[in-house]
Amino acid sequence: EESLQLTTLVSLKIIDLAYSSITIMNLQTLLEAAPNLKTLDLAYTSNLLGDLTLTPGCLAHLEEIDLNTSGIKQCIKNTSTV
């Protein structure tokens, strides 16, 4: 079994997962592997249950996200310290 390694999707800028059945664990792996992501569409993804824990700065380039009718609660916790 092959696994997605960190930062293997460095050229990926847009991910459209609308209406997909991606799980929170698979989303976490995908986001960690795509550090230059600018647009993320998670609309109508009802399988995203649980906590999403990402490396600080993982979504530093993110400009647009669609959480419309997704399983993600629109609550962001910043666990980094300044």
Average model confidence (pLDDT) across the chain = 83
Q: What is the pLDDT of residues 37-76, one digit of tens each?
A: 999 999 999 888 888 888 888 899 999 999 888 877 655 5
Given this model, what pLDDT does residue 50 score?
81
Q: What is the pLDDT of residues 23-40, one digit of tens each?
A: 999 999 999 999 999 999
Residue 64's SS3 state is strand
What residues form DSSP beta bridges with 16?
A: 41
Q: What share of residues in the chain are helix, strand, coil (percent, to 5)?
A: 10, 10, 75
Give the DSSP letter of residue 74: S
Distance of CA 79 to the CA centre of its chain: 17
Any long-range contacts for 72-76 (C-beta under 8 Å, 24+ apart)? 72/42, 72/45, 72/48
pTM: 0.78
